[in-house]
Amino acid sequence: MLRSTFILYALWASVATAASVPKDLTACVQKAFATSDPDKRIVSPGDATYTDARLGEKIQFDEFPALIAYAKDVSEVGPLVKCALKSGYKPVPRAGGHHFLAYSALNNSLLIDLAHVNHVIVSADKKTAAVGGGIRLGALYTALDAYGATFVGGICPTVGLGGLISAGGFNMQMRALGMSADHVASAKVVLADGTTVVASLSSHPDLFWAIRGGGGATYGIVVEYTLKLSTFPRSAMLYLAWNETGNVRYDVAKRFLAWGPAQPKEFTSQVNVYKNTVSVVGWYLGGTVQELGAIVNASGLLEIGSPQVVVSGGCSTDNSRIFGYTAFECLPDDQVDASIMNVVPEPYDQFENNAQFKYEEVPKSSTRAQAWPWERFRRMTKSFFVQKSRPVTDDVVKELVDRIGQLDDASEAWGEWHAWNLSSSSTGGAFAWREQALAHLEFIVTGSEDAATAKRYEQWFTSLEGLLRPAVGPASYAGYMDDSLSVNPLIAYYGSNVCRLVGIKSKYDPSNVFTNPLSIPPRAPQGISC
C-alpha cells in the first residue's frame, strides 16, 4: 500500500511540475509585489514548497493552483485580481485555508493568500477594529487581548476570518450575541474588475448583506473588515465526560439535544459523541458557578452513567476560549496559558517531508509562547441543521450514535453537535438558518490512505446522508462545504436567500470571475426559478 501511494504522489508531483506557469502571470504578480520581497512570496508548481503551500488544514489531493501569491498588503489584492484576469486564470482568495473541499486552492487559479493581510487596528474608543481579511481567529483574539477587547468569533484558532464571516460564523456566545457576521460594521471589498468598494449598511448595502453568510469568494475579496468589538464578562464553564459505550452515549446525546437549545441564551453548548466516550462542553457567558450548577443539576445529564463533572466559574475570556482544548477548569488569570491562540500566518505542521512555506511568521504576542503547529487532517465531514419545526426523533438519535460506534478506531469518528436556538439579535446578513436552527450536527472522520478503507468511510457518509437528510431537511452549514449532498446544495446553504444572492452576484460579478463549484452563480441555477 505504501508503495502504490508513493507512485501516486510521484505522478501528482510530475503533473504539477509539468504544468508550466505562464511567464506573464508570474511577471505580473512580481510587479504587484514590487515594493517588498516579490520573490519570497510567490510559489509555483515547480517549487519545493508548492505542496505545503497549496494544502490548507485539510490534506487534499484534488486542487492544484497555477500560482500561489502571498499578499501582505490590502493594496496588492486589486492588482493581483487584474493579473489573474489578464492571463486567463481565476482569482481565488484564501484566508485560513480550512475549506473542506479546498475551494480556496482551485485548479487553474491564481491563489491569492491573505494570511499575511492580518493587521489589527483598534479604534481610540476600543469599540471597533480594522482587521485584515486574512487574519486567523487566534491571532485576532491575541491582538485584541492587548486592548481588553474581543470579538464574537468561532472556536478554532487557525480558522480564517474571511471564510468564517462568509459562512456566517457560529461561536460559543452565539445564543446570546448572535453570529460572527452580525458583528461586522463594514468591509473593504475588491471587486471583479480589481477596484475596491466599502460595503456597509449605508454603502453597497446589498453587497454588505451578501458577504455576511452568502458564501466565500463569490461577490469579491474582502481585504479588510471593520469589526464591532465586545468585552465578555467572566463566565462559568461546563465539562462533563463519560468513558462509557453503548446506551450511556445514546442517553446523553438524546438528553443533550432536548436540553442544550432550551437553556438561558447566555449558555451555548455542544455534545461530542465518540465511539467509546461522550462529553458535553458549555460556556455560560457572564454566568456564575451557582447559575451553571443549577441548570446542570436540573438537566438530567448527571443521572446518566457516572460522568466526570467540572462546573467552574470566574473564567476570563482567554480561559473560556481554551476550555476544552488545553484547560478544563477556570484558573487564576496569571495561570492561564493562552498560547494555543498565538498562531502565526502559516500555523500548520509539516506534511510528510515536504518543505514548508514560511514568510514573516510573526505571532501577535511576543510575550506569550507561540502556538504549537496545528495538525493537518484528512478531514471527512457532513453537516446538518436540525430545524425547530422538526426535532430529530429518539430513534434517529439512537441510530446516529450507533453508527458512530460502527467505524473502526482508526477513523476517530465523532459527532460534534451544537445547541442553537439563537435569541433574535441579528443585525442582518445572508445566513439562512438563524431563525430555524435548533441544533447543528457535524460528523467528522479521519480519512484513510488505504483505498478500501477510504471507500468504506465514503459509503458510511453516503448512508448517513440517506438516513438523516429525510429526517432533518435540506439545511447544512456553508462553512462545511460538501459535494455529496442529496439535495440542491444552494438551497442547503442559502435557503430562501438564493434568488436574492443571485441578483447581487449578477450586479457585482456578472461574468462570474469569482467562482467555485458550489458558489452562487450570476443567473438562476438549474432547478431553481427566481
Ligand X SMILES: *[C@@H]1O[C@H](CO)[C@@H](O)[C@H](O)[C@H]1NC(C)=O
Ligand Y SMILES: Cc1cc2nc3c(=O)[nH]c(=O)nc-3n(C[C@H](O)[C@H](O)[C@H](O)COP(=O)(O)OP(=O)(O)OC[C@H]3O[C@@H](n4cnc5c(N)ncnc54)[C@H](O)[C@@H]3O)c2cc1C
Which residue ranges make up the site for ligand X (CB under 6 A)? 15, 62-64, 107, 241, 243, 261-262, 264-265, 290, 293-294, 297, 308, 388, 421, 423, 438
CB of 137 to ligand Y, least distance (A): 8
d(CA 385, CA 391): 10
DSSP secondary structure code for residue 177 in this structure: H
Closest CB to ligand X among 15 and 410? 15
The one of ligand X, ligand Y, none whose footprint includes residue 511, by CB under 5 to 8 A per kind, is none
Cβ contacts of 439 within 8 Å, gap of 6 or more: 257, 260, 261, 385, 386, 417, 418, 419, 420, 421
293 binds, among ligand Y, ligand X, none (CB under 5 to 8 A by kind): ligand X
Q: How far is CA 69 from CA 65, 113, 249, in A?
A: 10, 6, 47
164 backbone dihedrals φ, ψ, rounded to 5°:
-65, -50
Q: Which does 249 bind (CB under 5 to 8 A by kind): ligand Y, ligand X, none?
A: none
User: Helix or strand or coil: residue 101?
Assistant: coil
Closer residue to ligand Y (CB): 166 or 299: 166
Name residue 132's beta-bridge partners. Answer: 224
Query: Residues 46 to 65: which contact ligand Y by CB under 6 A?
Result: 56-57
| Smaller CB separation from ligand Y, 198 or 467 | 198
Rounded to an integer, what distance in angstroms lies between the CA atom of residue 234 and that of residue 305? Answer: 31
Binding string, residues 250-289; x marks residues near ligand Y by CB under 6 A: ----------------------------------------
Q: Which stretch binds ligand Y (CB under 6 A): 18-26, 152-160, 251-259, 302-310?
A: 152-160
**Closest separation in Å from C-beta 10 to ligand X:** 13
Choose from ligand X, ligand Y, none: what does 56 bind? Cβ within 5-8 Å by kind: ligand Y
Query: Which one of ligand X, ligand Y, none is in contact with 290 (Cβ closer than 5 to 8 A by kind)?
Result: ligand X
104 binds ligand Y (CB under 6 A): yes
- CA 319, 322, 324, 325 dihedral sign is negative
Q: Residue 388 contacts by C-beta under 8 Å, 6 or more apart in sequence?
A: 421, 436, 437, 438
CB of 452 to ligand Y, least distance (A): 26
**Residue 194 touches which member of ligand Y, ligand X, none, C-beta under 5-8 Å by kind:** none
* In the complex, minimum distance from the CB of residue 233 to ligand Y, in angstroms, rounded to a whole number: 21
The torsion of the CA quartet 315, 166, 226, 93, rounded to 10 degrees, works out to: 120
- Residue 114 touches which of ligand Y, ligand X, none (Cβ within 5-8 Å per kind): ligand Y
Classify burial at 447, counting beta carbons within 10 Å of its beta carbon; exposed 0-12, middle 13-18, buried 19 or more. Answer: middle
Determine, following the binding rule CB under 6 A, whether residue 521 of this chain makes contact with ligand Y.
Answer: no
Site for ligand Y in 206-235 (CB under 6 A): 216-217, 221-222
Q: Does 94 bind ligand Y (CB under 6 A)?
A: yes
Is residue 171 a contact partner of residue 179, using CB atoms and an 8 Å limit?
A: yes
CB of 347 to ligand Y, least distance (A): 11
The label of the residue with cell 478531514 reads: 379
Among 345, 353, 449, 344, CA closest to 49: 353
- 122 or 164: CB nearest ligand Y: 164
Which residue's C-alpha cell is 432550551? 262
Query: What residue has cell string 436567500?
Result: 497
CB of 238 to ligand Y, least distance (A): 17
- Judged by CB under 6 A, the residue of 92, 177, 404, 430 near ligand Y is 92
- Residue (265 or 500) nearer to ligand X, CB: 265
Integer Cα distance of 281 and 271 in angstroms: 6
Which residues partner with 67 through β-bridges?
110
Report the partner that residue 241 touches, choosing among ligand Y, ligand X, none (CB closer than 5 to 8 A by kind).
ligand X
Contact criterion met (CB below 8 Å) for 116 and 68: no
Beta-strand (E) ranges in 262-378? Answer: 267-273, 278-284, 308-315
Binding piece for ligand Y, criterion CB under 6 A, among 166-174, 247-255, 296-304, 308-316:
166-174
Is the CB of 43 or the CB of 117 nearer to ligand X?
A: 43
Binding site for ligand Y (CB under 6 A): 56-57, 92-99, 103-104, 114, 133, 154-156, 159-160, 162-164, 166-167, 169-171, 216-217, 221-222, 479, 516
